[in-house]
Structure 1
Amino acid sequence: MMRLSFHGANRGVTGSCHLLELDGLKVLIDCGLFQGGREIDEENAAEFGFEPSEIDLLLLTHAHLDHCGRIPLLVKRGFTGEIIATPATRELARVILLDAAHLQEEEAERNARKAKRRGKRAEGPLYGELDALNAMDLFGRRAHYEEPVDLSTGVSATFYDAGHILGSSSIRVTYRDDEQDKAIIFSGDLGSSNRPMLRDPHVPPAAETVVMETTYGDRDHKPLGPSIQEFYGAINESMARGGNVIIPTFALERAQELLYHLREGIESGALPKTLQVFLDSPMAISATEIFRHHPDCYDEDAQALFARGIDPFWFPGVHFTRETADSMALNRLAGGAVIMAGSGMCTGGRVRHHLRHNLWKRESSVIFVGFAAPGTLARRIIDSSKQEDKKPQVRLFGDDIPVNARIYTINGFSAHADRDELLAWHGAIKPDRTILVHGEEKAMAAFAETLHGTKVLMPEQGESIDL
């Protein structure tokens, strides 16, 4: 008997977590954080919907926080099984989880100080750095693309390059059922084709059931070429106005891709050779170093750069700012700087301080180059900038900050496959059953309407399906 239950990213984009049960074997696929508004804190702290100590294995598709961010909590609550991931995912997850734990502890300390002033008691962090380190101890076998990993008698998992971020995977689990070999595929997050650096997604062999993401299931991306030119134009316009450019940046893949394009823009003359770029994210800096360790994950063009001794992430005007003091010093720059800082959805990190010092300046700009989930500060800034009937503003650090800066949203940089790419991937597998996850309900429903010849399911949170 096989059963699949859903404990995250169900009719929503974040918190991916699926439980596969096969004749007593319990395998978790991903265990990510929910991200968004304040109510998300309660959702992350809630019970998982299963007993962590009963989970035998965890298969991790990739190291984005919404896919791995609750693993330390899983361990804190009793999980002692093996975590299997690709080598690159393993390295990136260590950076991501330790950073997340540090932020959890900092937030808990701030809340404790506030509660003490009010004579109240505050909750502790969701998990701490010790929990993250304990989680890393459970990372066991390394999965190499297209090489099966035995999970139990008659059950194996094969990881395929998903082309989303470094080390990202789709996972095909094979098993015996009624004397027949069957398979279920978990797409993970699928990348977009023809991107710089990373290889295009590899499509796994056919399977009876597919669990797939639908982040952009209702629309296609703007072509990359025009998006790059729009990106260069936004920077040049801001430099001409004498302002700063703030780019809320996801530490994994997006930061490295932007460095890649900034280097190309400077070398081609599309951007000023004197352009000063600050990568103000310790996690993104560490991730960039990890990217350098895994050129085997790159496409032919990026590998050719390395072969010629060219670092695709470095140019004369780039600065890596790890220390807090250096980050604070950037807020004294009146203009002329491009500041890339996390987090991409502005839910935390250093970018919130840079926004506080630049959002109100008419000469400055904010460039969003990634998905902004509902309830996040990024989405509120984007939505407020479109309000024409009143003065736009957002709440930040307890203050109402006017949104006077020029707001750009450039969607062509997405690391996710768009609707046509999702359809092509799905069509190559031809599953009998398709289970849609990891998407806003509107996008998911629109994508469901495009699927034919397959039974489509859109499970609710906590729903269980016998397969």
Structure 2
Amino acid sequence: MFDCGVHPAHSGMSCLPYFDHINPQEVDLLLVTHFHLDHSGAVPLGYFVSRTEFKGKVFMTHPTRPICKMLWQDYARVSKIAAEDQIFSSEDIGKTVEQIELLDYHEERQFRGIKFSCFRAGHVLGAAMFMINIGGIRVLYTGDYSREEDRHLPQAEIPNVRIHVLIVESTYGVMNHEPREQREQRFTNSVHQIVRQGGKCLLPVFALGRAQEILLILEDYWERNSDLHEIPIFYNSPMATKCLRIFETYTNMCSLSVQEQANRCNNPWILKYIQNMPDRSS
């Protein structure tokens, strides 16, 4: 099984995959490409005989597991549904995290005659494309991927082997996006114009991935524009703050520019012009 997510527009049992259309007992491996809930949100359910008969193993990359744990806990906490409709509890999450096995990019494993390995997918920290080899037939499942290098992540790899079957994510497969440099310039020009006129920018951003990208863009732009140095930037996301610690741990999986800054003994995630929102409760 590749990925095991929940439907983001539904809640309770209606958000789950159609487990009744498969026999979970026949699934040997569950390979999770990344931490987004539409790819990982139903994983805690799959371990318990009372709910499914899955007896296989679950694999994901090293950064994916701790971020999954945070997202699952947050999902269980904010789901405003009756207790009987909760798809998993905090206890389920704890047991699940203990049983997840980890692997590195390009590391080959074997289980019940299935050879599998993973490649960098871009998209978010730790995202992986999985290649499985069964009887000499190689299948590549991309999950969500990006061939564009971001500020904080490298682009997806192209495996240097022949693929017999390709299962590819194609959400934006029919869209053309303007180059990243143009998007960044349009964004920073808008921010600069607003703050120069005495205004305030409020930026609602996904806490994982997008937030880190925006932080690096703003940090770099502030550094290059001295007239902005006295204008503070605050971000208000406890989850994003926690995830910065994970990004620090796995800087070697980030973009080359982030790695180069780390090699110069500068922590790229200690930001000079950006700080947490002040605590006004005291």
C-alpha contact (below 8 Å) 2:222/2:273 kept by paired residues: no
**Selected match of 1:128 from 68, 80, 89:** 89
1:6 is matched with: none
C-alpha contact (below 8 Å) 2:12/2:86 kept by paired residues: no
- Are 1:64 and 2:36 counterparts? yes
**For 2:168 and 2:2, how far apart are their aligned partners in 1?**
12
- Are 1:138 and 2:99 counterparts? yes
How far apart are residue 40 of structure 1 and its match? Answer: 5.8
1:44 is matched with: 15
**For 2:177 and 2:129, how far apart are their aligned partners in 1?**
21
1:341 is matched with: none
Ranges in structure 2 where 5+ consecutive residues have no aligned partner? none
Task: Note the alpha carbon deviations across 1:328-382, whole angstroms, 9 max, x for none.
Answer: x59xxxxxxxxxxxxxxxxxxxxxxxxxxxxxxxxxxxxxxxxxxxxxxxxxxxx
How far apart are residue 242 of structure 1 and its match? Answer: 4.0
**For 2:32 and 2:145, how far apart are their aligned partners in 1?**
14
1:165 is matched with: 124
What residue identity is the alignment partner of 2:59? Answer: I
- Are 1:199 and 2:154 counterparts? yes
**For 2:236 and 2:55, how far apart are their aligned partners in 1?**
35
How far apart are residue 144 of structure 1 and its match? Answer: 1.5
- Are 1:156 and 2:142 counterparts? no
1:100 is matched with: 75
1:190 is matched with: 145
How far apart are residue 101 of structure 1 and its match? Answer: 1.9
- Gap change, CA 1:166 and 1:271, over 3 Å in 2: farther
SS at match of 2:259: helix
**For 2:91 and 2:227, how far apart are their aligned partners in 1?**
44
2:217 is matched with: 261
* Structure with the larger strand share: 1
Q: Per chain length, whose mean CA-contact separation is higher, i.e. which structure has more relative contact order (CA < 8 Å, sep 6+)?
A: 1
- Gap change, CA 1:267 and 1:137, over 3 Å in 2: same
How far apart are residue 199 of structure 1 and its match? Answer: 2.1
What residue identity is the alignment partner of 1:70? Answer: A
SS at match of 2:63: helix
C-alpha contact (below 8 Å) 1:263/1:314 kept by paired residues: no
- Are 1:34 and 2:7 counterparts? yes
How far apart are residue 279 of structure 1 and its match? Answer: 2.4
- Gap change, CA 1:245 and 1:304, over 3 Å in 2: same
**For 1:289 and 1:309, how far apart are their aligned partners in 2?**
16
1:75 is matched with: 47
1:87 is matched with: 62
SS at match of 1:61: coil
- Gap change, CA 1:159 and 1:46, over 3 Å in 2: closer
Number of aligned residue pairs: 276
**For 1:241 and 1:35, how far apart are their aligned partners in 2?**
38
How far apart are residue 88 of structure 1 and its match? Answer: 1.5
What residue identity is the alignment partner of 1:282? Answer: P
C-alpha contact (below 8 Å) 1:72/1:135 kept by paired residues: yes
- Gap change, CA 1:275 and 1:191, over 3 Å in 2: farther
- Are 1:55 and 2:27 counterparts? yes
**For 1:43 and 1:186, how far apart are their aligned partners in 2?**
26
With structure 2 as the length reference, what TM-score do the two structures score? 0.88
What residue identity is the alignment partner of 2:115? Answer: S
**Selected match of 1:320 from 258, 276, 282:** 276
- Gap change, CA 1:229 and 1:276, over 3 Å in 2: same
How far apart are residue 67 of structure 1 and its match? Answer: 0.9
**For 1:306 and 1:233, how far apart are their aligned partners in 2?**
28
With structure 1 as the length reference, what TM-score do the two structures score? 0.55
What residue identity is the alignment partner of 1:43? Answer: S
Q: How does 1:46-445 map to 2 (within 5 A)?
A: 47-48=18-19, 49-76=21-48, 77-78=51-52, 79-104=54-79, 107-108=80-81, 123-140=84-101, 142-153=102-113, 155-176=114-135, 181-204=136-159, 205-269=161-225, 272-321=228-277, 326=279
How far apart are residue 90 of structure 1 and its match? Answer: 1.9
C-alpha contact (below 8 Å) 1:163/1:200 kept by paired residues: yes
What residue identity is the alignment partner of 2:4? Answer: C
What residue identity is the alignment partner of 2:140? Answer: I
What residue identity is the alignment partner of 2:45? Answer: L
Ranges in structure 1 where 5+ consecutive residues have no aligned partner? 1-27, 113-121, 331-467
**For 1:46 and 1:143, how far apart are their aligned partners in 2?**
25
Task: Note the alpha carbon deviations across 1:407-464, whole angstroms, 9 max, x for none.
Answer: xxxxxxxxxxxxxxxxxxxxxxxxxxxxxxxxxxxxxxxxxxxxxxxxxxxxxxxxxx
**For 1:95 and 1:210, how far apart are their aligned partners in 2?**
31
Identity percentage over the alignment? 27
**For 1:54 and 1:101, how far apart are their aligned partners in 2?**
28
**For 2:264 and 2:227, how far apart are their aligned partners in 1?**
23
1:437 is matched with: none
**For 1:186 and 1:166, how far apart are their aligned partners in 2?**
17
SS at match of 2:59: strand
1:408 is matched with: none
